[in-house]
Homo-oligomer: A and B are copies of this chain.
Amino acid sequence: MAAMATLQLESLGPFRALSDEGRKLLRQGLVLKDCAPPAPILHKGQSISGAYFVVRGRLRVYALAPDGTEATMYFIDPGETCVFALNSLFNDLRYPAWVQAEEDTTVALIPGPLFRRLFEREPSIQDVTVRALSTLVFRLMQELEEVHAYKLDQRLANLLLLHANADGELRMTQQQIAQHLGTTREVVGRLMGELVSAGAVETGRGRTLIRDAAALAGLISGA
């Protein structure tokens, strides 16, 4: 099983460049984990045992307010790593958020000591680590700026434009959208209503269709 996991990992970018020795170490220490949607994989305050790489599926990282409302911070797609875990690993900190599988997901867990050893020796691991951290810093920064600079309707418009597929369709329920934005369904519903009467979108059960992308873009910069 560990061998298979290694093979799968090696097909993902950075691990292709591993030295033979690194590959051998990886093969010995790797743990493969299958995760099903509803249950949290990591919870806040947990101490971290290693570096997580998503092989298949998708993870969602989110914050949880005391009153129970969630706010998605980012997703982890195949080939990416959970940076908070990396972070906790290098700083010996507790994990600062929750993680949940969005769909059936396979995760490769590289135990902490092994990952540190790989990091010291393998330039490709150094590279992927710094790049991952770096990218996350950028994303978080943008998110933070967005939260303080834009109103909810603008953030909603932004989410629609960013996450809709090529046909301008977004397959998410209003509840899910609300969780992303850190607000409630009713508020999303209300704002959607405004967008509908402005002719910018059409709504349906579990889907939103963009009718007038320019109007949305205008809302973001204009209002």
Contact = CB atoms under 8 A, between A and B. Distances in A.
| Copy count, this protein chain | 2
Contact of A144 (B83, B131, B144, B149): B144
A105 B119 CA distance: 34
B96 A134 contact: no
A130 B131 contact: no
The 8 closest A-B pairs by CB, nearest first: A65-B149, A133-B133, A148-B182, A140-B140, A63-B145, A87-B134, A71-B148, A90-B134
22 contacts: A63-B148, A65-B145, A83-B137, A84-B137, A84-B141, A87-B134, A90-B130, A96-B138, A96-B141, A96-B142, A97-B141, A97-B145, A119-B126, A120-B123, A129-B130, A130-B130, A130-B133, A137-B137, A140-B140, A143-B144, A144-B144, A147-B148
